[in-house]
């Protein structure tokens, strides 16, 4: 099913916000939509991992100075599974950048 003109415009606007002006000239396709959806799902998994991290840090009561109380627990959690927290938002953005761009190039 083809994207509507409004969906194309909104998806382009989203991509420009995420990746910059170089994405202003592409014409998003159904494939572009699917790639962006996959990227956002990956970013959502990252958000959940960060939420789990904070929930497991019982010392992380909101307020200035929480990291001082939690630095040991944080180190233990993050070193146990470093790949779970290693810039996963940026990783998702950059992993999908080229495929998304190519999908909208009208080749």
Q: Is the pTM of this model over 0.85?
A: no
pLDDT at 89: 73
Instruction: Please state, in angstroms and as integers, the Cα–Cα distance from residue 46 to each residue in 37, 70, 86, 104, following that order.
Output: 14, 20, 10, 26
**Residue for token pair 């010392």:** 59
Cα dihedral across residues 100, 103, 106, 107: positive or negative: positive
Residue 36 pLDDT = 92
Residue 17 tokens read as: 């916000």
pLDDT along the chain (107 residues), means of 10: 90 91 92 91 83 76 67 74 69 87 83
Check residue 65 and give its pLDDT: 64
Q: How far, in Å, CA of 57 to CA of 70, rounded?
A: 7
Contacts of 85 (CB under 8 A, 6+ apart): 49, 50, 53, 78
């Amino acid at each position: 099913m083809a994207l509507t003109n409004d969906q194309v415009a909104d998806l382009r606007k989203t991509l420009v916000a995420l990746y910059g002006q170089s994405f202003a000239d592409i014409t998003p396709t159904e494939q572009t939509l699917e790639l962006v959806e996959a990227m956002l799902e990956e970013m959502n998994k990252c958000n959940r991992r960060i939420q789990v991290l904070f929930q497991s840090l019982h010392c992380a009561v909101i307020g200035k100075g929480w990291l001082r109380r939690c630095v040991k627990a944080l180190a233990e959690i993050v070193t146990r599974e470093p790949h779970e927290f290693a810039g996963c938002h940026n990783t998702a953005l950059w992993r999908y950048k080229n495929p998304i761009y190519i999908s909208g190039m009208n080749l």
